[in-house]
């Protein structure tokens, strides 16, 4: 058993909140993909999808998030907060995925999202929080697993 520290609690709460927001937004896209409200949240107020590929990629990522990301954050948080080594391994997996997608979206969406939202919003809740959580979760979990094994 690996006792969770205050850092584990901070990562669990922060990750739980940011991924919950992601799930709610993605559920909106999956349940009403053509609504103006969905477009306002995903693209910007009174904006439209750039093309069908833009819509299809957002729709596909929404399915991936709901089917993969959400179960991993729930399982990882339960595992870490209950002191199970598999919880930390789950956080490493989700952290790596989160870092990967943050890099992908940096190149895919920055040109459009950054100018319309500004640096504060962009480097926090639109893009940055997922990268920051991923880096923190991977480093912290690797440290805890290393200490557990030695």
In a domain, 114, yes or no: yes
In a domain, 86, yes or no: yes
pLDDT at res. 120: 86
In a domain, 30, yes or no: yes
pLDDT per position as a tens digit, 118-149:
888 888 887 899 999 999 999 999 999 999 99
Give the residue numbers spanning the domain of 43. 6-149
| Phi, psi for residue 79 in degrees, rounded to 5 | -65, -45
In a domain, 1, yes or no: no
Q: How far apart are CA 129 and CA 147, in angstroms?
A: 27
Kindly report whether the global pTM for this prediction surpasses the value 0.75: yes
pLDDT at res. 122: 82
Q: How far apart are CA 48 and CA 112, in angstroms?
A: 12
In a domain, 34, yes or no: yes
As for how many domains the chain has, the answer is 1
pLDDT per position as a tens digit, 45-93:
777 778 888 889 889 999 999 999 999 999 999 999 999 999 999 999 9
- For the chain, helix, strand, coil in percent to 5 are 85, 0, 15
Q: How far apart are CA 95 and CA 141, in angstroms?
A: 9
Q: How far apart are CA 150 and CA 63, in angstroms?
A: 39
Question: Rounded to whole angstroms, what are the CA distances from 7 to 1, 17, 29, 78?
Answer: 16, 15, 33, 15
């Amino acid at each position: 058993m690996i006792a969770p520290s205050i850092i584990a609690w901070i990562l669990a709460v922060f990750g739980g909140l940011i991924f919950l927001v992601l799930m709610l937004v993605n559920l909106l896209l999956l349940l009403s993909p053509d609504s103006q409200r969905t477009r306002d949240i995903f693209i910007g107020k009174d904006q439209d999808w750039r093309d069908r590929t833009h819509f299809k990629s957002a729709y596909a990522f929404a399915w991936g998030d709901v089917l993969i990301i959400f179960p991993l954050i729930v399982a990882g948080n339960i595992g870490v907060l209950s002191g199970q080594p598999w919880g930390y391994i789950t956080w490493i997996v989700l952290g790596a995925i989160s870092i990967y997608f943050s890099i992908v979206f940096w190149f895919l969406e920055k040109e459009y999202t950054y100018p319309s939202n500004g640096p504060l919003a962009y480097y926090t809740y639109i893009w940055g929080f997922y990268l920051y959580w991923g880096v923190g979760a991977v480093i912290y979990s690797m440290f805890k697993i290393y200490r557990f094994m030695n």
